[in-house]
Structure 1
Amino acid sequence: MKNNRIRILYIDDEVHNLNAFMASFRRNYEIYIANSAQEGKQVLKGIDVHIIIADQKMPTTTGVEFFNEIKNVLPDPIRILLTGYTDVEDIIDAINKGHIYSYIKKPWDEQELHRTINNAYEIYSARKQLKEKIVELEKTNDELNRFIYSTSHDLRSPLMSVLGIINLSRLDNSVTDPNGYMNMIEMCVTRLDGFIQKIIEYYRNSRLELEFERIDFNNLIKDCTDTFKHQNTAINFNVEVDQPVEFKGDTFRISVILNNLISNAVKYQKPEEENPTVNLIVKVEPHKASIRIEDNGIGILSEHLNNIFKMFFRSKNNNKPGSGIGLYIVKEALTKIGGTITVDSRYGEGTQFEITIPNRNEFDS
């Protein structure tokens, strides 16, 4: 039973106080004593205590000074100060800075000290349980992320095989498909692959460390637009890049942001639009880059604008395929790199996104 009891270290330079404390509380708690701050530190090296009680007025080191010294090394034990005189400013300062949990006036009242010790131990136990839960949640979250990433990669391989088989059957005309089932299979597989790629983007954004490097927005924008031109060859991309100064940023996350926004601008065009257009305007300044992406597509209903950055939200005003995760990833990636995003859209007329990204070149200089 002794190991289950509350362990207390009591530090006081007056021997009769140590003896009185031991006599009063040894039946209820596991007591350790020390007659100086230095001796108390030695005890703490070998004993894992729950509560430390120290007298304020000790030679060489006061109780507050002692708690201040051990706080970072031993943050878990709850600290209680005993004081025989009223030094209000020191006590208030110690409480405010988190050096002590509470203080008791000497000579102590045994019942009051009992209550204080028990309350302190409840706090100690609650903090310990909270830390254990946090560690458990972090472990679970890490395992879940790894599972999602591994599963996503494993799923892409058979999907690519299916697409390869479909393309092969078309080349050698080995399959007769008057009802267009092959096209439907291809469309479903492509949609599923797109969703898996979004999951991989989400995982990488949440796990990868920030890495800042020089970015040429002319090249970056060209790479992004080239990726989506084949989806709608009628779209006219108007690109304006004003980059008079060097820019440093996280290439991976900025590419993810641009790819998702440009993909939406291409995907959500109006079928009847004679001149589908996507404008990309980039202005780089010493402290930031401002990027505007606008289209003349179907637009977003005004009542949906507050929800578009939520995970899996999809507007009901279109029948386009989508995962509902792209804009959520955009927002998360921008948060990671300290950027912002705003949206303005008119239903039936088009949508405009404006993002700002800090120039890390300024922080390095």
Structure 2
Amino acid sequence: MTIIKVLYVDDEENNLSSFKANFRRLYEIYTANSGAAALDILSQTEVHVVISDQRMPGMTGVELFKKVKKLYPEPIRILLTGYTDIQALAEAINDGDIYRYITKPWNEIELNNSIQNAYDVFRTRRELKEKLAELQKTNDELNRFIYSISHELRAPLASALGVINLAKLDNIYNESEKGNEYWSLMEECCNRLDYNITSTLQYYKNSRYSEVKEDVDFNKVIHDLIAIHKLANTGSEQIKFEINVDQPEKFVGDVFRIEIILGNLISNAIKYQKPEEENKLIQIDVKVNRLVAVVTIIDNGLGILNDHLNRIFNQFFRVHNQKGTGLGLFIVREALAKLEGKISVESVVDSGTKFTIRIPNSA
């Protein structure tokens, strides 16, 4: 069982002796007759509770506790006062310099209960601090694990896709109808695994990374994202993109999350085109003002059933023959929530889908 260590500070020797006599059997007692002496003890000994008289020459109890809070913040501080100095007490309490105050002459039972309660607070704070340290350690280990796993998965995946591309160049890919089917299946599986890894990493990073605000050039961001997703999606070269960016105002926001949001919506617009559609089209319109950026992404693809519209942003909800991870639109919603943005969707089956997002401008 831990012995509670109490430091009592008072410039009157009789009070020091009385305190020690009353509580020496319950606690490990330290005494000091001035604020300077108390700070010296605290520099050498771990103390759980500090009790100080308010009116002392050289340094008042409140002044002592301000220094204790700065230098040794863990001990819980109790102030004894025989004077009604309301302003000093209110300031000390509001600033967190004292946990409780007790009027003099103190009552032994009241003071003992206060010491016990103060120690409970000390112990709870100490345990919380230890738990936070453990949590931070676990979080750091998880960060390293996620990075390692993503690297270890993507390296062989890139090699596999490289082999498939070599097979295409050497005409092995199309040697027979059955072989072509196998190669196509392998390529599709690799691309899907790559997409799954990317979605998982986006979800992880979005939930953990702090918001970083910087200038956003929507024209550049959108063209870069289209180039990336066209490379990742077979057949996307047949899709026509119409892009209109009206950005007369400076826009400041979190580029990382904006890229996650737009990237997922562009990827879906590409993926869910109708195979038989001859005029595949994706329209992206951006209007920026000093308060908000409004982005609409419209496709003439497969569309979404009305019954699904209220569920497409749910985690792991998937449509269209179970394509994807069911994380894309969920990540979009979560990233927008971090930016305090909004999203809406309109869709007609076999006609296409329109997503509208609003992102606040922090400029």
Q: Decide: shared fold, TM above 0.5.
A: yes
Change (3 A) 1:51 1:198: same
1:346 and 1:10 map into 2 onto residues whose CA distance is: 72
Question: Which residue number in structure 2 is paired with residue 326 of structure 1?
Answer: 328
Unaligned runs of 5+ in 2: none
1:172 and 1:41 map into 2 onto residues whose CA distance is: 82
2:274 and 2:70 map into 1 onto residues whose CA distance is: 61
1:145–1:203 CA contact under 8 A, matched in 2: no
1:244 aligned to which of 244, 248, 251: 248
Change (3 A) 1:214 1:123: closer
Partner secondary structure for residue 331 of structure 2: helix
* Alignment of structure 1 residues 1-365 onto 2, 5 Å: 4-88=2-86, 90-170=88-168, 171-173=170-172, 178=178, 180-205=181-206, 213-229=214-230, 231-271=235-275, 275-300=279-304, 308-310=312-314, 312-315=315-318, 317-334=319-336, 338-346=339-347, 348=349, 349-359=352-362, 362=363
Q: Deviation string for 1:99-131 (max 9, x for gaps)?
A: 222222222222222221112111111111111
Which consecutive aligned stretches of 4+ in structure 1 deviate over 6 angstroms post-superposition? none
1:189 and 1:299 map into 2 onto residues whose CA distance is: 26
Shift of 1:325: 2.4
> Letter of the aligned partner of 1:226 in structure 2?
A
Change (3 A) 1:17 1:309: farther
Identity %, equivalent residues = 48
Shift of 1:198: 2.4
Partner secondary structure for residue 263 of structure 2: helix
Partner secondary structure for residue 298 of structure 2: strand
1:207 and 1:286 map into 2 onto residues whose CA distance is: 28
1:308 and 1:94 map into 2 onto residues whose CA distance is: 53
1:276–1:296 CA contact under 8 A, matched in 2: yes
1:177 and 1:49 map into 2 onto residues whose CA distance is: 80
2:341 and 2:194 map into 1 onto residues whose CA distance is: 29
1:243–1:283 CA contact under 8 A, matched in 2: yes
Unaligned runs of 5+ in 1: none
2:215–2:253 CA contact under 8 A, matched in 1: yes
Change (3 A) 1:103 1:260: same
C-alpha root-mean-square deviation of aligned residues, in Å? 2.9
Length, aligned pairs only: 355
Partner secondary structure for residue 137 of structure 2: helix
2:261 and 2:95 map into 1 onto residues whose CA distance is: 42
2:146 and 2:308 map into 1 onto residues whose CA distance is: 29
